[in-house]
Amino acid sequence: MNSFKMLIGVVLLALAISSPLHAAPVVCVDPGHPSEISAGASAGRLTERHLAWVVALKLKAILSSRGVSVVMTKTRERELVTNRHRAEIANAAGAAAMIRLHCDAGAGRGFTWYYPDHAATKDGVTGPPPDVCEHSRLLAATMRETMTPLLAGHLASNPVKTDAATHVGAGQGGVLTGSIFARVPTALIEMCFLNQRGDAAYLASEAGQNEMASALAAGVMAYLARTPRSEDLNGPR
């Protein structure tokens, strides 16, 4: 072997050692609103758009510190991104999970996770596929299970629901737009009820936002530990 061939060999070996078979997992964090549907809920000076944005930034920081590669669907708080495009950003990133952050308004209390359990058709596209539904169910269940004890005493934990239980989902075959176009596991959290005094005071506080982000991150890490890697899930299709 001449020295050139030996050099090539050394370079290839170095590349093989420095490129692990599995790269860092990618998670898509989707701060809800504004979208084509709505600017988001509000109660007094508190807006769903702002709370989702600040919690998303905190979640991104925690996940990044744990070796997760985070892709955001928005680059600034007031950026309008359609729900279809939000899903497409997660798909393009090959995300292991898409975490969608929202807040509710109404008669309830606490946080609620939603996931798609079947496909629907919108703009000629049908989805999500069955394997994405199955992993979305596991994602929502794992997030709720992990977060419940971490937020106990601050926010009530509601049972996991399907997209069909949402206003928008109910109107289009029981599936949210962001789910129809998702080709990666997706789950949506309504973090609290903005119009309820206790819920609002907690999530409006810096401490509450930090605890919510920490609980979300713990849920994501638990899900990543439970599920096949995204590249396996996104295999032959």
Residue 212 CB, nearest approach to Zn ion (Å): 15
DSSP for 116-173? --S-EEETTEEE--HHHHHHHHHHHHHHHHHHHHHHTTTS-BPPPEEGGGSHHHHTTT
Q: Does 178 bind Zn ion (CB under 5 A)?
A: no
Q: Which is nearer to Zn ion, 32 or 169 (CB)?
A: 32
Nearest to 194 by CA among 174, 179, 207, 208: 208
Rounded to whole angstroms, the Cα distance separating 147 from 177 reads 25
Q: Which of 31, 32, 127, 169 binds Zn ion (CB under 5 A)?
A: 32
> Closest separation between CB of residue 112 and Zn ion, Å?
12
Shortest separation between residue 203's beta carbon and Zn ion, angstroms = 13
Q: How far apart are CA 135 and CA 139, in angstroms?
A: 6
Name the residue number minimizing CB distance to Zn ion.
102
Least spacing, CB of residue 15 vs Zn ion, in Å:
45
Number of residues that bind Zn ion (CB under 5 A): 2
Specify the residue, 104 or 117, whose C-beta has the smaller distance to Zn ion. 104
How, if at all, do strands 186-193 and 112-115 pair? antiparallel
Instruction: State the minimum distance, in angstroms, from the CB of residue 188 to Zn ion.
Output: 8
DSSP strand E in the chain: where? 26-31, 42-43, 46-47, 69-72, 97-104, 112-115, 120-122, 125-127, 161-162, 186-193
Please identify, among the stretches 25-33, 54-62, 119-127, 132-140, the one whose residues bind Zn ion according to the rule CB under 5 A: 25-33
Handedness of CA 65, 70, 72, 75 (dihedral sign): positive
Could you say which DSSP state residue 72 is in? E
Residue choice 50, 60, 102, 144 for contact with Zn ion (CB under 5 A): 102
Beta carbon of residue 168, minimum distance to Zn ion (angstroms, whole number): 9
User: Based on CB atoms, which residue is closest to Zn ion, 196 or 227?
Assistant: 196
Q: Which stretch, 89-97, 100-108, 121-129, 177-185, contacts Zn ion (CB under 5 A)?
A: 100-108
User: What does the binding site for Zn ion look like in residue numbers (CB under 5 A)?
Assistant: 32, 102
